Each structure stands twice: as structure tokens, then as C-alpha cells.
Amino acid sequence: MPGGFYLALMDRMLVIYRLVLINSAEPCIRGSVTVRPDLTVVTRVDGREVPSDEYNDLLSGGTADYVSVLNMMARV
């Protein structure tokens, strides 16, 4: 897992997120990649959902695999 990224399992979904500190004290999720049970992906950056057409080139058949998720994290 690249530095600064964390994992969580919530409601049968894998959530990979980047946590940063604002003003050295306030935690903030800067970006996230959520893999749903059907292996579809939702990506958010700075609280806004990224349209899937911006990262479809990284997904094989519209679903996530391990390499796809790592490449998406590089974009977040």
C-alpha cells in the first residue's frame, strides 16, 4: 500500500483512502477509492465524485482488480 493510504472494510465494500492533516491537527480524507461488492468502483477527490470516464482506462471491463486499484490510487 502506498504511503499515506489506509484501508477499511465497510458494508461489504473495500474503502482505500488518503488521510492528511490540515493545519497540523485536523484530519481530512483527501481522496478515496471504494470497491463495491459487484467490483464497480467509486472515486472521490476533495469530497467530489470523479466521473468514471476519467478512470475507465484503468479498469478492465468496468470492474476493479488489484492492479487497477493501485493505478487509481496513484491518480488520487
pLDDT tens figures, 7-56: 999 999 999 999 989 888 899 999 898 989 988 888 899 889 988 788 77
Q: Domain locations in the chain?
A: 5-75
23 neighbors 39 (Cβ within 8 angstroms): no
- Per-residue model confidence (pLDDT) at position 62: 58
**What's the half-sphere exposure (Cβ side, CA atoms, 13 Å) at 3?**
0
Place of cell 488521510: 19
**Whether the predicted pLDDT of 63 surpasses 70:** no
pLDDT over threshold 80, residue 68: no
Rounded Cα gap, residues 7 and 15, in angstroms: 6
Query: Could you tell me which residues are beta bridge partners of residue 60?
Result: 63
- Does this model's pTM top 0.85? My answer is no
Look at residue 66 and tell me whether its pLDDT is greater than 80. no
41 and 62 in contact (C-beta within 8 Å)? Answer: no
